[in-house]
Structures are given as structure tokens and as C-alpha cells.
């Protein structure tokens, strides 16, 4: 995965537990990139699926069999990536539900939307120092929580 909280594969398990605020930050920072990456890969496979469907005009059995194999592969990859995306988003929703309204606002704007601290401050109508306090409070609440390990 793009975020590596654990140093080796042996240390990484199906569920990752946040040991400290830095672990939470690493995971939160990776959300936006992981989501975009998964969506781009799904779009790629959908395009390939469309191409295979459009090119399936040959009468030769070898071509038809190859296209059917390709179509099955692309559909399986789309399903796998969609499942991974849903797991990622369900972890996000579960973690955000643990926070109060202001903390959710700050964390969402900063990490999911990728805004700078200046933009977060302006859009939230909260001073920068208070934004940092809310972020620290939110990260503290998320320490000890577990999330699914997402492999792309």
C-alpha cells in the first residue's frame, strides 16, 4: 500500500492499528491518493472492457476465446478494486463518526479534500491555532483504532 505504518510484511496484518498520531496522519494523508488511484485503475479497466466488447467481431474461435478471457479478467479486476475502495471508504466513515462536528470538518478538509492549512482556516471560519488544536484532538481520538490493510 501507499501508506506503510509497519516496516516489514510480517509486521503488517489484515488490520492495522494506529499506535500513535503519526500513524494516523500517514493513513489520513494516503486516503486521497489511494482513492484517486483506485478510481483511475477502475476507469482504465472499464475502458479496456469497452474495447474488448467493441472488438469482439471476429468469427475466429481463438479470438473470441481470448476476448472472453480478457473480459472476465477486467471484470474481476473492477470488482476487486471496487471492493477495496468500499473498504477504504467504510474505514474513513467509521473513523470520522468517532469525531465531533468541528474535528470532522477540519480532518475532512485537510486530508480528504487536500486543502492547505490556510484554506482550512478560511473555509472553516476557525483560526489556524484552533485548527491545529482540533486536528490534534481528532488524531488523539483515532489512536488505537484499526483500519483494513488496503493493497492495490
In the chain the beta strands, taken as DSSP E runs, fall at: 15-17, 146-148
Q: What is the mean pLDDT of the chain?
A: 85
Average pLDDT value for residue range 76-80? 94
pLDDT confidence tier of residue 6, bands split at 50, 70 and 90: very low
Closest by alpha carbon to 107, among 145, 139, 143?
139
- The reported pLDDT for the residue numbered 150 is 72
d(CA 81, CA 88): 11
Beta carbons of 95 and 147 less than 8 angstroms apart: yes
- 115 alpha-carbon distance from chain centroid: 17
pTM: 0.77
**DSSP character string of 88-146:** HHHHHHHHHTTS-HHHHHHHIIIIIS---HHHHHHHHT--HHHHHHHHHHHHHHHTT-E
The model's pLDDT over 86-123, given as tens digits with 9 standing for 90+, comes to: 999 999 999 999 999 999 999 999 999 999 999 999 99
- Give per-residue pLDDT as tens, 13-53: 467 889 999 999 999 999 999 999 999 999 999 998 887 76
With a pLDDT cut of 70, the percent of the chain lying above it is 82
Q: Is the pLDDT of residue 1 over 80?
A: no
So what's the pLDDT on residue 57?
Answer: 57
Closest CA to 38 of 83, 3, 70: 83
Amino acid at each position: 500500500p501507499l501508506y506503510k505504518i509497519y516496516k516489514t510484511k510480517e509486521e503488517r496484518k489484515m488490520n492495522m492499528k494506529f499506535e500513535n498520531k503519526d500513524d494516523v496522519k500517514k493513513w489520513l494523508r494516503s486516503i486521497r491518493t489511494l482513492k484517486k488511484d483506485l478510481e483511475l485503475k477502475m476507469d482504465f479497466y472499464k475502458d479496456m472492457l469497452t474495447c474488448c466488447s467493441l472488438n469482439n467481431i471476429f468469427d475466429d474461435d481463438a479470438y473470441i476465446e481470448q476476448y472472453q478471457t480478457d473480459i472476465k479478467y477486467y471484470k474481476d479486476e473492477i470488482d476487486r478494486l471496487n471492493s477495496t475502495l468500499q473498504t477504504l471508504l467504510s474505514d474513513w466513515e467509521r473513523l470520522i463518526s468517532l469525531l465531533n462536528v468541528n474535528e470532522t470538518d477540519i480532518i475532512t478538509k485537510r486530508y480528504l479534500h487536500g486543502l492547505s492549512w490556510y484554506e482550512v482556516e478560511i473555509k472553516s471560519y476557525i483560526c489556524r491555532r484552533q485548527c491545529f488544536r482540533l486536528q490534534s484532538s481528532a488524531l488523539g481520538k483515532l489512536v488505537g483504532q484499526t483500519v483494513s490493510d488496503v493493497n492495490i
